[in-house]
């Protein structure tokens, strides 16, 4: 069998239904093989390789199988790097297949910069942002490397892998009966009985426990089981920004998300709790604040993570660290009757509700109001994608999550231009309407993918929150640079087009919104049909995201500052 055919059969065997990429000379054999099997797997052409990599991420975030993207050598491969980094930092299982020049054209160990046309050592470049990357120079290694790459991508803390394959390896023939296999490694991530007993013991001693739920729960496909576990424990929950979809907005245990742009009430609960149990979240500086001494000052911290290296970043010297697969933790909670604690913390939950009610509507900017209204008309069981910038924070703060909704972010890497191609990948994983939020800055970074949506007639609803500025950076300029708006607003080096006209040029229907209150019914109707549409919502140029944490402040003391008497009252109660 030809190696490129074998690769495609391998992907089909693993249940991968869709791959994304861009044509190039060094991947023509792979493209041809994908066409041979197009009744079992679909290959989709993007208009930029970065978009292909983001599509793979979106597919994997929803499907919980590796997303796959391919590109040719040189610029094709390097254009994948932003998506590879995104997958690495957000632990998204992905497989990137890059073409490479023929082995006989390669510079090998010679010190010249380049021998073959478009030859680039993508493996050395990608190594720091992959779990595994390998240049395949022998056809007979293809089975071993594919099996290894797939396993590494999906095991432990998930993430991206890169296989760099020369053109003459793609076209080589192999005897599939004599290919060596990969023997899976045993991972030391099993939950120890003493760990579960320790968690239980600390919960029983606590009067004001709080759980921080992270995106690791989504990555492990444990959304349903997590909700069942929380209902059994009866403990209030806060989340990281990129895991806000773990809790229904109306859940009695849902108390928002924490961090620099988090809900004020969520951050206050961090200060008031006496036990903080973190599950599948990193506790990075966006969550704790720059000065970790201010974080959870009155609480004992138990951190549960599958990646031991994340625990090197200690928040407290005496924190309890448990390296384990969270699926085992949740399984123990669900099956062990000792964790039937519902009702034990009712007084604490009442206090959490009081704090939430006092602080919920203090910050309510224009963007928050728009997202609040839009979330009311977005059906459950849909996938919502976000870009990076103010739109992302408004969604995190004000979107009222319903059951079975997923909200996808570019979290750790924070890449503008993510939402649109991510929505494409999510569509092929879900085959349902997708709601794609973006700002005017982020949309333009991968705007060419509107052609993809038009070509395939995908039911993706693109909502552009257009404030005609790079709003988050413009706000920084107000705070720290005397409102010198260089390169962030019109007439200062930045401009935005009429997105409705651009959508029309691509052949996509558009809707221009100047008043969301008066036009909400029209938007609702458009979101429910099966056609693509771009909805431009015009906003003031000076938009803000509040609350916002200043450097070296406790996370509960966000800008704009609360009345000091109110802060002291909430802290003492």
Rounded to an integer, what distance in angstroms lies between the CA atom of residue 289 and that of residue 90? 20
Q: Which CATH superfamily is domain 193-359 in?
A: TPP-binding domain (3.40.50.1220)
Residue 403's φ and ψ, nearest 5 degrees, are: -60, 140
**Chain center to CA of 396:** 12
Rounded to an integer, what distance in angstroms lies between the CA atom of residue 431 and that of residue 209? 40
Given CA atoms 546, 301, 407, 445 in this order, what sign does their dihedral have? positive
Q: Give the N- to C-terminal CA distance of the chain in Å, as an integer.
A: 72
Alpha-carbon distances of 281 from 157, 306, 392, rounded to whole Å: 12, 10, 19
Confidence label for 187 from pLDDT (cuts 50, 70 and 90): low
Say if residues 176 and 117 touch (Cβ distance below 8 Å).
no
Say if residues 222 and 330 touch (Cβ distance below 8 Å).
yes
Omega before 547 within 30 of 0, i.e. cis? yes
Instruction: Tell how many helices (H) and how many strands (E) occur in the chain.
Output: 24, 18
Closest CA to 490 of 546, 441, 535, 555: 441
Q: ∠381-385-389 over CA atoms, to 5°? A: 145
pLDDT at 551: 85
Question: pLDDT tens for residues 321-375?
Answer: 999 999 999 999 999 999 999 999 999 999 999 999 999 888 999 999 999 999 9
Torsion of CA 349, 278, 160, 5, to 10 degrees: -60
Region of 54 please: left (phi>0), alpha (psi -120 to 50) or beta.
alpha
What does pTM read for this prediction? 0.96
The distance between the two most distant Cα atoms of the chain, rounded to a whole number of Å, is 77
Say if residues 8 and 34 touch (Cβ distance below 8 Å).
yes
CA atoms within 13 A on the CB side of 271: 20
Question: pLDDT tens for residues 241-294?
Answer: 999 999 999 999 999 999 999 999 999 999 999 999 999 999 999 999 999 999
Q: What DSSP character marks residue 520? A: H
Closest CA to 538 of 321, 372, 366: 366
Question: pLDDT tens for residues 129-151?
Answer: 999 999 999 999 999 999 999 99
210 DSSP β-pair partners: 276
pLDDT at 188: 64
For residue 411, give the H/E element and its range.
none
Rounded to an integer, what distance in angstroms lies between the CA atom of residue 59 and that of residue 424? 8
Q: Across the chain, what does the average pLDDT equal?
A: 96
Q: What is the dotted CATH code of the domain comprising 3-178? A: 3.40.50.970
pLDDT at 501: 98
Q: What DSSP character marks residue 402? A: P
Token code pair at residue 477 = 């300029």
Question: pLDDT tens for residues 503-557?
Answer: 999 999 999 999 999 999 999 999 999 999 999 999 999 999 999 998 889 999 9
Rounded to an integer, what distance in angstroms lies between the CA atom of residue 436 and that of residue 439? 10
Angle between helices 326-335 and 223-233 (to 10 degrees): 50
Token code pair at residue 545 = 């995201």
pLDDT at 572: 86
Residue by residue, what is the 3-state secondary structure of 225-293? HHHHHHHHHCCCEEECHHHHHHCCCCCCCEEEECCCCCCHHHHHHHHHCCEEEEECCCCCHHHHCCCHH
Rounded to an integer, what distance in angstroms lies between the CA atom of residue 381 and that of residue 180? 43
The topology (CATH level 3) of 366-538 is Rossmann fold (3.40.50)
pLDDT at 186 over 90: no
Say if residues 408 and 422 touch (Cβ distance below 8 Å).
yes
Q: For the sheet containing 254-257, what is the strand order? A: 254-257, 237-239, 209-213, 275-279, 300-305, 320-323
pLDDT at 21 over 90: yes
Question: pLDDT tens for residues 25-80?
Answer: 999 999 999 999 999 999 999 999 999 999 999 999 999 999 999 999 999 999 99
Given CA atoms 478, 483, 485, 491 in this order, what sign does their dihedral have? positive
pLDDT at 189: 61
Share of the chain above pLDDT 70, in %: 99
538 DSSP β-pair partners: 466
- The answer to whether 193-359 and 366-538 have equal CATH topology is yes
- What are the domain boundaries of the chain? 3-178, 193-359, 366-538
**Chain center to CA of 181:** 33
Torsion of CA 220, 221, 225, 231, to 10 degrees: 90
């Amino acid at each position: 069998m030809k190696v490129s055919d074998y690769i495609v059969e391998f992907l089909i065997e693993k249940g991968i239904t869709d791959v994304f990429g861009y044509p190039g000379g060094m991947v023509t054999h792979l493209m041809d093989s994908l066409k041979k099997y197009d009744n079992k797997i679909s290959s989709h052409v993007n208009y930029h390789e970065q978009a292909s990599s983001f599509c793979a991420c979106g597919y994997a975030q929803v499907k919980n199988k590796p997303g796959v993207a391919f590109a040719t050598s040189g610029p094709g491969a390097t254009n994948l790097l932003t998506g590879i980094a995104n997958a690495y930092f957000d632990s998204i299982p992905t497989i990137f297949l890059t073409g490479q020049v023929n082995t006989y054209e390669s510079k090998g160990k010679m010190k010249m910069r380049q021998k073959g046309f478009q030859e680039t050592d993508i493996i050395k470049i990608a190594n720091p942002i992959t779990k595994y990357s390998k240049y395949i120079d022998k056809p007979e290694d293809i089975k071993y490397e594919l099996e290894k790459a797939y396993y590494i991508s999906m095991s432990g803390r998930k993430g991206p892998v890169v296989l760099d394959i020369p053109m003459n390896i793609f076209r080589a023939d192999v005897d599939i009966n004599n290919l060596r296999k990969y023997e899976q490694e045993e991972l030391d991530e099993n939950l120890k009985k003493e760990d579960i007993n320790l968690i239980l013991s600390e919960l029983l001693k606590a009067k004001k426990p709080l759980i921080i739920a992270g995106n690791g729960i989504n990555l492990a496909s444990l959304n349903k089981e997590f909700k069942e576990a929380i209902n059994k424990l009866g403990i209030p929950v806060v989340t990281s920004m990129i895991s806000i979809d773990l809790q229904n907005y109306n859940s009695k245990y849902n108390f928002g998300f924490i961090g620099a742009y988090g809900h004020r009430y969520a951050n206050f609960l961090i200060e008031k709790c006496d036990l903080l149990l973190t599950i599948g979240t990193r506790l990075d500086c966006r969550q704790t604040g720059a000065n970790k001494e201010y974080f959870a000052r009155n609480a004992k911290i138990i951190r549960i993570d599958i990646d031991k290296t994340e625990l090197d970043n200690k928040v407290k010297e005496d924190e309890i660290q448990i390296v384990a697969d969270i699926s085992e933790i949740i399984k123990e909670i669900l099956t062990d009757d000792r964790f039937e604690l519902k009702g034990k913390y009712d007084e604490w939950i009442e206090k959490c509700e009081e704090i939430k009610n006092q602080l919920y509507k203090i910050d309510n900017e224009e963007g928050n109001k728009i997202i609040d209204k839009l979330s009311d008309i977005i059906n459950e069981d849909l996938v919502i994608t976000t870009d990076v910038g103010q739109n992302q924070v408004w969604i995190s703060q004000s979107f009222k999550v319903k059951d079975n909704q997923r909200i996808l972010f570019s979290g750790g890497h924070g890449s503008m231009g993510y939402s649109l191609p991510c929505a494409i990948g999510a569509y092929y994983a879900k085959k349902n309407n997708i709601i794609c939020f973006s700002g005017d800055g982020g949309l333009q970074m991968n705007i060419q993918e509107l052609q993809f949506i038009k070509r395939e007639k995908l039911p993706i609803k693109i909502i552009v929150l257009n404030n005609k500025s790079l709003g988050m950076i413009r706000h920084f300029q107000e705070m720290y640079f005397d409102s010198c708006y260089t390169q962030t607003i019109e007439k200062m080096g930045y401009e935005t087009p009429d997105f409705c006209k651009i959508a029309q040029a691509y052949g996509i229907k558009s809707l221009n919104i100047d008043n969301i209150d008066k036009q909400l019914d029209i938007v609702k109707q458009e979101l429910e049909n099966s056609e693509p549409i771009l909805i431009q919502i015009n906003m003031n140029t000076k938009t803000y995201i509040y609350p916002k944490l200043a450097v070296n402040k406790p996370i509960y003391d966000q800008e704009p500052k609360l009345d000091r008497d109110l802060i002291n009252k909430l802290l003492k109660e």
